[in-house]
Amino acid sequence: MFSVSYDSRIEEYRGTGVPARAKGSHMLLVTGATGTVGRHLIQHLRRAGQPVRALTRDPGRAELPDGVDAVRGDLADTATLGPAFDGVTAAHLINFGRGYQPLSNGRQIVDLAVRSGVRRVTILGGWQEGTLEPAVRDSTLEWTHLQPVEFMDNARTDWRAPLRADGVVREPYGDRRSAPVHAADIGAVAATALTTEGHAGQSYTLTGPEVLTPRDKIRILGEATGRELRFEELTPDQVRREWVERGHLPRLQFFTVFGEGARPAEMVELLLRLYGSTPEVGYTVTDAVRRVTGRPARSFAGWAAEHADEFRL
């Protein structure tokens, strides 16, 4: 995605893979500021001494670091965004709003950003392209597109409750492969793209350092927690019974992309297609994190160690 030009050369901020603050630093806007990627991005930028403004629907509950300028607004509602973009020269944008629905006001966001003096942006892609990406590509903005193949944090969203309950995850396709990436690495890539040269017009597919299956992840979580955890594979028919007839739909928030009135059976069929046909890009390790930040991508074992307490009884 996109970054701000500076007058002086950048030193590396020791140990983070993120540039230290340069002379003449400008205000950067972070949308999705209270999500996992947004919080890591803010941490990277603040460690580097970079002024940061955070867009949030509720500044009073955002719990952002000291020194961050929290501004109320909703990315899906352009009318609320004027104060957020005022005086900003670079911005981190997400391409989805509530319920992970792709934004429908991408053109209006881009027009406002350009009028406000924004020069660079990063775009964090969601599960499908919306109106934001083409609007950015057709604009005068310098852009960098970040496309994580899978978030390591999905393990927490999907599995924390069942693993705490009885130590068993019940899902289909236990051998499906993916190369999940740590949110901190996404944040580091975004911080680098926003504050250094050489990333304009680039699309980075972001992965972790290894390909893993759900069985692999459960084993690693077991090692991190010291618990005996199991993966129990369900057939597609069992999934339909468990998730539709018994109402055990996982990650319901994801399925609001269907809109109101979506039927559980439709949601489950989509999940089965996604789980059963991961595209090659989803299980091909890239070196984008290392190339952009200068440090290797974090491992799932490291992520599991960080979050082990959340999976313990």
Predicted local distance difference test score (pLDDT) of residue 265? 80
| Range 141-147 average pLDDT | 97
| Range 100-123 average pLDDT | 94
| Range 101-106 average pLDDT | 88
* Residues 226-260: b if buried by 16+ CB within 10 A, e if exposed: ebebebeebeeeebbebbbeeeeebeeebbebeee
17-65: per-residue pLDDT in tens? 444 433 345 899 999 999 999 999 999 999 999 999 999 999 999 999 9
3.40.50.720, 3.90.650.10, 3.40.50.10420, 3.40.50.300: CATH of 12-151+182-210+283-298: 3.40.50.720
Average the pLDDT over each of 105-109, 227-231, 249-253, 299-303 and give the range with the smallest value.
249-253
Residue 11 banded pLDDT, cuts 50, 70, 90: very low
Residue 202 phi/psi, 5-degree rounding, is -100, 145
Predicted local distance difference test score (pLDDT) of residue 174? 95
The better pLDDT of the pair 275, 175 is held by 175
256-269: per-residue pLDDT in tens? 444 555 677 877 88
Average the pLDDT over each of 13-22, 75-84, 152-161, 239-248 and give the range with the smallest value.
13-22
* 46 CA to centre of own chain: 19
Residue 276 banded pLDDT, cuts 50, 70, 90: confident
